[in-house]
Amino acid sequence: RIDDKGGMKFCQDLKENNHTLEELNLRGNSLGDMFAKALSELILDTNLKKIDISCNFIEKKDANSILESLRDNPNIIDFDIRNNKIKDLALEAEINEIVTKNYQSHCEI
């Protein structure tokens, strides 16, 4: 299991060294605010297309920063943030809406 600090370091390393990875699955770990901040930064500058961070400990404030980054990266076409500690269905719906639009725009190409 990856804890919050390990998840943060992992994202920082990916940001510096990844040029080919397109899918990231960190489902069911112990990821929280430090990870979410690092993931938000990674999303802004990544080749990732699919991200699964479901079943962690990400809260609403952290999900908001992820949402802002997703708005600026049209390449993310699949993003799973279910079963965290967000407790805001509207926020989760907005994330899903952005990712769905990204997916649909990729299908039109």
Distance CA 13, CA 15 (A): 5
Distance CA 52, CA 107 (A): 21
Residue 29 sits at φ, ψ, to 5 deg, of: -115, -155
* pTM (global) more than 0.85: yes
Task: Say what the pLDDT of residue 36 is.
Answer: 98
Q: Where are the domains of the chain?
A: 4-107
**Of all residues in the chain, what percent carry a pLDDT higher than 70?**
98
CATH homologous superfamily for 4-107? Answer: Ribonuclease Inhibitor (3.80.10.10)
Mean predicted confidence (pLDDT) in 33-53: 96
The answer to whether 29 touches 3, Cβ cutoff 8 Å, is yes
Q: 55: helix, coil or strand?
A: coil
Query: What are the residues whose beta carbons fall under 8 Å from the beta carbon of 3, sequence distance 6 or more?
Result: 29, 30, 31
Q: What is the pLDDT of residues 59-73, one digit of tens each?
A: 999 999 999 999 999
Average predicted confidence (pLDDT) for the chain:
94
